Amino acid sequence: MGVGNAPVNSIADVKAYRTEPFGQKSTSWRPSHNQQPGEQFNYINKSIVFYEDKNFQGRHFECCSDCPELSSHFSRCNSIRVESGNWVLYERPNYLGTQYILTSGEYPDYQRWMGYNDSIRSCRVIRNTSGKFRIRLYERPDFAGQMMEFSEDNPNLPENWHHPEVHSCNVMDGAWVFYEHPNYRGHQHLLERGEYRHFNDWRSNVGSIRRVQNL
């Protein structure tokens, strides 16, 4: 599994993608960004295991679905095994705070998922990581101004998007990651299917975009 099919330079690039709250104070996850009305998500064969100590030691907890509060299961997290699925982890309960996007694989210490510390307090499965991918970027808030549609990764958005900022977007299909700088560097933000009318959901400077997809 991976985020798009761009070249990577390290294990961390392959496996983990840290996202931080863009704009002002982070807000909790809104399900409308992930599922259409009446749509049911299949949690079968989704599994992530959290370990309190490095190298998969100490008390551990296996999670197979969204969990808004993990502190009752472990006090710290220093290693992780993602058995299946794509997951977004949060530093705070209720899907708040700094995000870490993990795909299938092993993470023997928190540096492997580019963590700042051993705090993981909530997690959920990322939806819409197979099939079509389509996103529309807008020059201004509320889907105004110039629009450009993408269905593939773009490592250098300024080469195609001749505006300094992205102020709104519509994720029509798939799940995407916005990066602050070209070549998938800098602050990141996960965007799932739905409408984003204002860049408070991320920082308006977007240097590259990439799909979260099953390979």
* Tens digit of each residue's pLDDT, the chain (215 residues): 455 433 333 333 334 555 544 433 333 334 334 444 334 455 678 999 999 999 999 999 999 999 999 999 999 999 999 999 999 999 999 999 888 888 899 999 999 988 889 999 999 999 888 889 999 999 999 999 999 999 999 999 999 898 879 999 999 999 998 888 899 877 778 899 999 999 876 777 899 998 998 74
Domain regions of the chain by residue span? 11-125, 134-212
- Report the relative pairing of strands 47-53 and 79-84 from DSSP bridges: antiparallel
> Minimal CA–CA distance to 94: which of 116, 71, 115?
71
Enter the pTM of the model: 0.73
> Minimal CA–CA distance to 88: which of 115, 124, 142?
124
Kindly state the helix (H) or strand (E) to which residue 145 belongs, with its residue range. Answer: strand 144-150
The class (CATH top level) of 134-212 is: mainly beta
Q: Looking at the domain that runs over 11-125, which CATH code has it been given?
A: 2.60.20.10
Burial 104-125 (b: 16+ CB within 10 A, else e): bbebeebebbbbeebbbbbbbb
Asked whether this chain's domains 11-125 and 134-212 adopt the same fold, the reply is yes
Three-state SS sequence of 10-67: CHHHHHEEEECCCCCCCCCCCHHHCCCCCCCCCCCCCEEEEEEEHHHEEEEEEECCCE
